[in-house]
Structure 1
């Protein structure tokens, strides 16, 4: 039985680990908060350290908040590079800095360890129900090798290019998500000012060419019901927007709309706390305007 590990058992990693158990894999878990021990009755075997899990498994999935933490887990003392066996393949589902991704992949390659960047969309619900969407960067051989595992935790996978391409694509995806939320909120406020029911507006938009992720999903699911419990925080989305802005800057892109979206997300930090749901951005009105 192929052994699969998951490092980082938060909102996303926990769902992936349990989906892998249902898929018939031998699943091992590690989390600094000790979550793995709470999942043992559900079939996830707890490991004592990064070194322990890296030396045990054939495929290791990372579900971590930032590139800095990925680098620490992979390159640090007792990390994956030092402890993983040759032939191991790491799949990083973090929404990460592509430059860091390439650095980590190169270091692992020197140790005979493969790497696929496979950021995910679909949130905690998608992880729990194995309906996530993944974009993949890596060699064709490594992508093919991890396909049975990824097919168990996701509904659709697109191999977009070499190492780093998955993370570039995910940053551009999240840039669009951030912009969609901002412009949709402006449309909703305009409708309210003109005595149009916002729910009827969104229903109408979703039947026309103006529909987007915010009108199709965010407003009906988390904003109109006022639950704001998507499982994705302002802190994480602001991080993704910062990375997207740095990506555009690195290629001297002419992108005034994207840059304004990035500015607004950054400016919102003074008004909306890091721990708040990222959909709260629709409540932000820039004081400068």
Structure 2
């Protein structure tokens, strides 16, 4: 039987992770909510009455907390324990900056830290089939991986502290922004009396939603190749037509409208004949970065 692991934060995600870990050994836990504590006890977690009641109880502490301020507060509390843990695994969704600040607090006390952001839903967590985005020092990641392997389908080792959380927040940002674009698009479809399933089928093709990701980001941007292809000027024209259609149909659009502006900027800068993936060069200039491999 494996050594006990402490899970702090027993919300939907934390309790699912704790339940998965229970298959491999004892799990201790704490949450400020009595209701969540009761659910955890019913699941087999040994729940402490307070955060301080977990001091020295397990060498590894896993965090699953609702907001960045909570993570920082708990990291500070752990750093002041009389019997320090060896490693803290941060699975809460926080910014890279929060992860780095937590790591600094714990490092000053001699406690290891990794950010292990979780990708996927509660079902995959409870089943122990989690995808982790991992950041930290090589030594701390090496200590964390055997523990995460118990409940992981895949671990992406992404680099230093903050890299795991950075990957998750960017991924989530993409998902949430795309959701708004899709809602705007399907609102126009309904106004045109076109079945929703039709556009779902059209977008769910290699030439659909995956095309910008696989071809334009994965190939053109990484190769710096913007010759040929769908020109930025033609993409601008299509974007204008979409905006006009939304206006004619009386459909409010926000994300689609905002996404049109870079096409105007690119064309004004003489990039109209390049593939529309060349919009990436605007961000290269603005952010002083290079997308090429």
Decide which moves more: 156-165 or 182-191.
Answer: 182-191
Distance 1:196 1:109 in 2: 57
**What's the secondary structure of 1:32's corresponding residue?**
coil
Quote the residue 2:30 is aligned against.
30
74 and 207 in structure 1: CA distance in 2 versus 1, 3 angstrom threshold: same
Deviations 1:68-119 (A, max 9, x none): 01111121xxx21111644521111111122222121111111111000111
Alignment partner, residue 202 of structure 1: 200
| Structure 1: gaps (5+ residues) | 213-282
* 1:26 shift after superposition: 1.5
Q: Give the equivalent residue in structure 2 for 1:120.
A: 118
What does residue 44 of structure 1 align with? 45
> How many angstroms apart in 2 are the aligned matches of 1:135 and 1:99?
16
CA distance in 1, matches of 2:207, 2:72: 42
**2:183 match:** 185
Distance 1:101 1:194, change over 3 A: same
Larger radius of gyration: 2
Q: CA RMSD in A?
A: 2.2
Give the whole-Å Cα distance in 2 for the aligned partners of 1:132 and 1:37. Answer: 24
| Displacement after TM superposition at 1:25 (Å) | 1.7
| Residues 157-195 of structure 1 deviation map (CA, whole Å, 9 limit, x = unaligned) | 111111111111111111111111011112212322332
Structure 1 residues 206 and 85 mapped into 2: Cα distance closer, same or farther (>3 Å)?
farther
Change (3 A) 1:61 1:180: same
SS in 1 for 2:103: helix
What TM-score does the superposition give when structure 1 sets the normalisation length? Answer: 0.68
Distance in structure 1 (CA, Å) of the matches to 2:66 and 2:176? 18
Q: Per the alignment, do residues 86 and 31 of structure 1 end up closer, same or farther by CA in structure 2, a change over 3 Å counting?
A: closer
Name 2:286's counterpart in structure 1. Answer: none
- In the alignment, which residue of structure 1 is the partner of 2:74? 73
Please, what TM-score do these two structures have when normalized by structure 2? 0.67
Distance 1:83 1:5 in 2: 14
Query: Runs (4+) of structure 1 moved beyond 6 Å?
Result: none
What is the total number of aligned residue pairs between the two structures?
214
- Cα separation, 2, equivalents of 1:6 and 1:40: 13
